[in-house]
Structure 1
Amino acid sequence: MWPGSVRARATLGATAVVALALTAASFALLGIVHANLQRTAKDAAAQQADTVGRLAAQGKLPDLLPLTHGADFIQVVDAEGRVVAASQNLTGRPPVGHVRPDEGTLRATWSGEPFHDEHRQRIVAVTTRAPGGTLTVYAGTSLRDADQADETTSVALGIGAPLLLATVALVTWWVTGRALRPVEAIRSEVAEITGHALHRRVPVPDSQDEVARLARTMNVTLDRLEEAVVRQRRFIADASHELRSPITVLRTQLEVALAHPDPALWPDLVSEVLEDTVRLQDLAADLLFLARLDAAEPVESGPLDLADLCRTTLAARHGDRIPVDAGLQTGVTIEGNSSRLTRLLTNLLDNAQRHADRRIELTLRADQATDTAVLEVSDDGPGIPEADLDRIFERFTRLDDARSRDLGGAGLGLAIARDIAAHHNGTLTAEPHPYGARVVARLPLSPQAAEGP
């Protein structure tokens, strides 16, 4: 039964709140008006009764009592219940009440007497001592004004309240619809966005409210989504191209072997086929590793001594073309995964081995100013043009395509290394160097290492 749209729920909620507030205010208003009018009537009757009581106490009570403003009738009754004086409208009538309060005490009561009209009376009784004995003065005031005020107020509220509620409902419906109009436009535009129309963006309203911020956030999200899809498509195309090349070479070599079945040529042919197969296997392994990084699969992590990891990695590298000069600061500890950080360092060293001339340097230090571990790999190779310092981390990027292919590079090593650094809340950048190339990884120190001794 609850409305399904935000517009209907907002309208219903606003109307219900106003209805509750209006009901409470109406009862409060009726109560205040009724109490004030009754208090006024009571005060007028009490004032008249006190005046007549003083006259009775002084022995100056006339037979016909005059009425003042605010009193409708006056009657004086002795202790035996006989009427000794009254206003003209009560002449010849029996006592209006049988209340005998203590001397000087006022007591009020509700009654339709003595006129039997449709309006109530507020009656005040005052007992006083007169020369002839104890007398009770009854003064009454009609509640005609109070009843009429109650009726008028009730009618006004009965007519005005529904009109006010209807106005609130209509205004809320209109305002909510106008406020949600940009949301509907956003919904319609998002519904039209498909994988082939990622360039489309939702309209941003001119207002600076939550809807405008939502639209801007959605457009930023769509920008990231389009960038991810474009990157994925480019990655698939590049991967297909990279896989096609070694597969084509393998097929050509096998076709040559079938066309020239000379056993003397088979050792060289098998060696070439094996080399291309290994290259294809490495490429497939890199693609699988990138897919796992993109999927953000959880891995074990813990405190790692980077100096130990660097020494272990260097010790496991046999047959490097150029020996690595290492300058490692001890006690540099971070939180991370050992196998992935080993892969990061291995990729940096492999990249340096491909391009270095005679020298490769590996340095590790702790930067206490930024609470980071700084791992640098530099070489004396041809270097990296300043315009390509960031581009080399893109997947399948090779600045010297022919040379990289000959040396076995597929353009994925640095991309994998940067993704690993990012997964460890760090960065990997290529920075200017007086000679050759320098790649710097910055990883946050573990809390214990950051605090220092």
Structure 2
Amino acid sequence: MRRLWPTTVRARATAGACAVVAAALAIASYTLLGLLGANLLRNAEGDAEQQAVIVAQLAAAGQLDRVRPPAHGVDFVQVVSADGRVLLASPNLAGTPPIRTVTPRRAGTLAHTWKVRPLGGEHRQRVVQITTDTPQGLVTVYAGTSLRDVDAADDTTTAALAIGGPLLLATVGLVTWWVTGRALGPVEAIRAEVAEITDRDLHRRVPVPPTHDEVARLAQTMNATLDRLESSGARQRQFIADASHELRSPITVLRTQLEVALAVRDPELWPELISGALEDTERLQQLTVDLLLLARIDAAQPVPAVRLDLSALVRDATESRLGDRVPVRTDLAPDIEVEGSDLWLTRVVTNLLDNAQRFADRRVDVVLRTVGGPRGRTAVLEVTDDGPGIPAGDRERVFERFTRLDDSRSRDHGGAGLGLAIARDLTAHHGGTLTAEDSVQGARLVVRLPSVRTLPDA
């Protein structure tokens, strides 16, 4: 059965449509033939019964001599006594024995369909039998009519259905095959185009049909997916190029220092050379840690859904910097709870503080508060420094990986240009945002995290 079942959508749709239409046609044909035969049979029986009732009434009144010839639609009439004698018969039954040899024992009305034809011929007879009391005893009246019209209608309808049914099925199959082919043509074009797209030509796009239907939306979705893949590929290639460049610099410096230390024979210079090599090693180690973290973020690893006290997290991060060159002043609303990773959110706060202290002149301000209504509150963390600030045109570029602004925010201040990029990616993983916004002086970085509620008082 599986081998016989169609394997293509087009064939399955055609087979399914034909099967449904065939079933509906069979049911409709059976119903039509039944209703048509029943209606014609009822009409024929009505004519015969009407004639039989008239004759029975005359027989009950002892006036059989007043019986007229059968009306239109009635083929014959016969009246038989209880002892089997024919008391009256229409001319076409003159001299013939009783239609039935069984003598009724009580009055009543019966209807029979004779397959053995009383008058011969090619068609069945519908006979109505009425038994009634007369002055001479029980008398049975037989009135019959031919079912030629019923048989002819059945034969004609059956022949029409036998011819029209297959033609209708063939038409449905052809139309379904054609319509399905037209509908699936764009899908096949999309499939063929996608099959030819490799990782080296992600710029290609699938054709979008001008139909504005589901297939067109599928093509648009496919093109949007290709856009994301192309953007991801370009971002990955740029990341690899930038990472290679950033790793090459400390490795080159470290190698130079080690070669100088190897070449210098004065032991008094070795501590200074080794100290410089150690600093470059630490920088290389930090850069490697940042790159690994970015790789984990790009892999879209899920964020642990753990409730944590954001106020305590920020407080711990700032208190650990009491001895730094630039003091950190805080204004933290108490008991603000969010869901996420304690480690990753701590990294967000640490990166923002590192960035602020790197460029601050005399102070760094940290403010934590909540905004919003009872249906949904948002935690807002602001880190502000009094440094040179971020120009309006660079407020998005500072969050790009390996990006350093000129002048005051240059390589001389240290860092690989990954801190803010990591902070934004980690914030986005928690369903929040990180933006650089207007400030009276210096830079102002704002983190917004959703799904926040204030912890109840102890």
Mapped pair 1:185 → 2:173: no
Distance change (3 Å), C-alpha of 1:65 and 1:90: farther
Identity of aligned residues (%): 63
For 1:426, the equivalent position in structure 2 comes to: 432
Output the TM-score relative to the length of structure 2: 0.94
Mapped pair 1:70 → 2:73: yes
Matches within 5 A, 1:266-415: 266-298=270-302, 300-317=304-321, 319-369=323-373, 371-400=377-406, 404-415=410-421
Give me the whole-angstrom Cα distance separating, in 1, the residues matched to 2:103 and 2:435: 105
Mapped pair 1:215 → 2:219: yes
Contact map agreement 2:322 2:328 (CA 8 A) in 1: no
For 2:108, the equivalent position in structure 1 comes to: 105
Q: Given residue 271 of structure 2, which amino acid in structure 1 is its aligned partner?
A: P
Give me the whole-angstrom Cα distance separating, in 1, the residues matched to 2:68 and 2:89: 5
* CA shift for structure 1 position 39: 0.7
SS in 2 for 1:368: strand
* CA shift for structure 1 position 420: 1.2
* CA shift for structure 1 position 37: 1.1
1:106-164 per-residue CA deviation (whole Å, 9 max, x = no partner) reads: 10112123123332111111122333333211001111111111111111111110010
Contact map agreement 2:107 2:133 (CA 8 A) in 1: no
Contact map agreement 2:403 2:418 (CA 8 A) in 1: yes
Give me the whole-angstrom Cα distance separating, in 2, the residues matched to 1:130 and 1:168: 64
Q: 1:133 aligns with which of 127, 133, 137?
A: 137
Give me the whole-angstrom Cα distance separating, in 1, the residues matched to 2:415 and 2:54: 118
Give me the whole-angstrom Cα distance separating, in 1, the residues matched to 2:139 and 2:409: 130
Contact map agreement 1:74 1:86 (CA 8 A) in 2: yes
Give me the whole-angstrom Cα distance separating, in 2, the residues matched to 1:448 and 1:373: 10
Distance change (3 Å), C-alpha of 1:205 and 1:393: same
Contact map agreement 1:74 1:139 (CA 8 A) in 2: yes
Give me the whole-angstrom Cα distance separating, in 2, the residues matched to 1:185 and 1:274: 59
Matches within 5 A, 1:33-182: 33-62=36-65, 66-98=69-101, 100-101=103-104, 105-111=108-114, 112-182=116-186
Mapped pair 1:225 → 2:214: no
1:28-47 per-residue CA deviation (whole Å, 9 max, x = no partner) reads: 00100110111111111101
Distance change (3 Å), C-alpha of 1:400 and 1:100: farther
Distance change (3 Å), C-alpha of 1:355 and 1:122: same
Contact map agreement 1:303 1:336 (CA 8 A) in 2: yes
Contact map agreement 1:396 1:412 (CA 8 A) in 2: yes
Q: Given residue 30 of structure 1, which amino acid in structure 2 is its aligned partner?
A: L
For 2:269, the equivalent position in structure 1 comes to: 265
Give me the whole-angstrom Cα distance separating, in 2, the residues matched to 1:429 and 1:102: 107
SS in 2 for 1:62: helix
1:387-437 per-residue CA deviation (whole Å, 9 max, x = no partner) reads: 111111111111137854222210100011111111111111110111100
Moved more, 318-327 or 346-355: 318-327
Contact map agreement 1:380 1:437 (CA 8 A) in 2: yes
Moved more, 58-67 or 196-205: 58-67
Give me the whole-angstrom Cα distance separating, in 2, the residues matched to 1:301 and 1:144: 84
Give me the whole-angstrom Cα distance separating, in 2, the residues matched to 1:203 and 1:99: 84
* CA shift for structure 1 position 298: 3.9
Moved more, 15-24 or 121-130: 121-130
Distance change (3 Å), C-alpha of 1:312 and 1:181: same
For 1:243, the equivalent position in structure 2 comes to: 247
Unpaired runs of 5+ in structure 2? none
Distance change (3 Å), C-alpha of 1:206 and 1:299: closer
SS in 2 for 1:398: coil
Q: 2:5 aligns with which of 2, 8, 12?
A: 2
Contact map agreement 1:304 1:334 (CA 8 A) in 2: yes
Contact map agreement 1:283 1:410 (CA 8 A) in 2: yes
SS in 1 for 2:65: coil
Q: 1:19 aligns with which of 22, 28, 38?
A: 22
Give me the whole-angstrom Cα distance separating, in 1, the residues matched to 2:209 and 2:32: 44
Q: Given residue 436 of structure 1, which amino acid in structure 2 is its aligned partner?
A: G
Q: Given residue 8 of structure 1, which amino acid in structure 2 is its aligned partner?
A: A
1:242-285 per-residue CA deviation (whole Å, 9 max, x = no partner) reads: 00111111122223333433323222211111111111110000
* CA shift for structure 1 position 64: 7.9
Unpaired runs of 5+ in structure 1? none
Give me the whole-angstrom Cα distance separating, in 2, the residues matched to 1:81 and 1:162: 54
Give me the whole-angstrom Cα distance separating, in 1, the residues matched to 2:310 and 2:303: 18
Mapped pair 1:417 → 2:423: yes
Q: Given residue 357 of structure 2, which amino acid in structure 1 is its aligned partner?
A: Q
Give me the whole-angstrom Cα distance separating, in 2, the residues matched to 1:247 and 1:377: 33
1:27-83 per-residue CA deviation (whole Å, 9 max, x = no partner) reads: 000100110111111111101111111222233213985121111111011111100
Give me the whole-angstrom Cα distance separating, in 1, the residues matched to 2:119 and 2:453: 94
Equivalences, count: 452
